[in-house]
Chain A
Amino acid sequence: DAGVIQSPRHEVTEMGQEVTLRCKPISGHDYLFWYRQTMMRGLELLIYFNNNVPIDDSGMPEDRFSAKMPNASFSTLKIQPSEPRDSAVYFCASSGQLSNEKLFFGSGTQLSVL
């Protein structure tokens, strides 16, 4: 398996623009997570899905953030409109069926909002 695949690796955009981050989890994994990494707050959980259903989105900072998982092999995290304070590294991770299984992380998307 190629692991968790995220795209793009880097995204530079202007304030107010829409940003879409993409993630392909490992095949067979039932859980998908979106995390954000910042210097101030470390790794923060934004939202996670179980079998394509959003379970907990309490970490999503504002209504400008939304996430979808239309099928088992694809998820998106959208920011509209983007703001400079959204600049961070966004990680997607997936894990298997058991709740004590380790997470497999994608390579992350470095987002810069100017």
Chain B
Amino acid sequence: ILNVEQSPQSLHVQEGDSTNFTCSFPSSNFYALHWYRWETAKSPEALFVMTLNGDEKKKGRISATLNTKEGYSYLYIKGSQPEDSATYLCAYWMDSSYKLIFGSGTRLLVRP
């Protein structure tokens, strides 16, 4: 059974705070790790696709790191804004199979 775990389950921060959350996944047979942003009443949108150990990706105030040897990825948001409020999902892709296994997400609420 593949377990993709995300923590924390939910997070409330004040506007301007920086925050980060964790995605843990099996370190064996790693192929790719995805991060998606899911706003309420919308569909998930991809943020990053990461494949190499040590990868760091950045998109505006959001960045992510990847450690495939120990099986974790961090997502960072610098200077959170209310529009960052969403559920952030990570998804793990094992070797070359086309099964993207999603974590349960971290729900972020940024208060103005």
Known A42-B103, A99-B31, A99-B32: A105·B98 in contact at CB below 8 Å: no
B-side interface size class: 20 to 34
Among A35, A103, A108, the one with the most B-chain Cβ atoms within 10 Å of its Cβ is A103
User: What does the 1/0 interface line of A73-114 toward B look like (CB < 8 Å)?
Assistant: 000000000000000000100000001111111111000000
CB neighbours (8 Å) of B103 from chain A are: 42
Q: Are B43 and A56 in touch, CB under 8 angstroms?
A: no
Q: How far is the CA of A63 from the CA of B23 in the complex (A)?
A: 33
User: What does the 1/0 interface line of A21-48 toward B look like (CB < 8 Å)?
Assistant: 0000000000101010000001101001
Q: Are B43 and A105 in touch, CB under 8 angstroms?
A: yes
CB neighbours (8 Å) of B42 from chain A are: 107
Q: Which of B12-20, B45-53, B60-68, B75-83 contacts A (4 or more CB under 8 A)?
A: B45-53
Q: How far is the CA of A33 from the CA of B96 in the complex (A)?
A: 16
A20 part of interface (Cβ distance < 8 Å): no
B102 part of interface (Cβ distance < 8 Å): yes
B95 to chain A, nearest CB (A): 9
Q: How far is the CA of A56 from the CA of B36 in the complex (A)?
A: 23
Chain A interface residue count, CB cutoff 8 Å, equals: 21
Known A42-B104, A42-B105, A43-B89: A102·B98 in contact at CB below 8 Å: no
Task: Tell me whether chain A's interface is mostly helix, strand or loop, or mixed.
Answer: strand
Q: Are B98 and A91 in touch, CB under 8 angstroms?
A: no
16 contacts between A and B (CB under 8 A): A42-B102, A42-B103, A43-B89, A45-B100, A55-B98, A56-B97, A56-B98, A99-B31, A99-B96, A100-B93, A102-B34, A105-B45, A106-B43, A107-B42, A107-B43, A108-B43
Residue ranges of A at the interface with B (Cβ–Cβ < 8 Å): 31, 33, 35, 42-43, 45, 48, 50, 55-56, 91, 99-108
**Pairs of residues from A and B, 4 with the lowest C-beta to C-beta distance, nearest first:** A102-B46, A105-B43, A43-B102, A100-B32
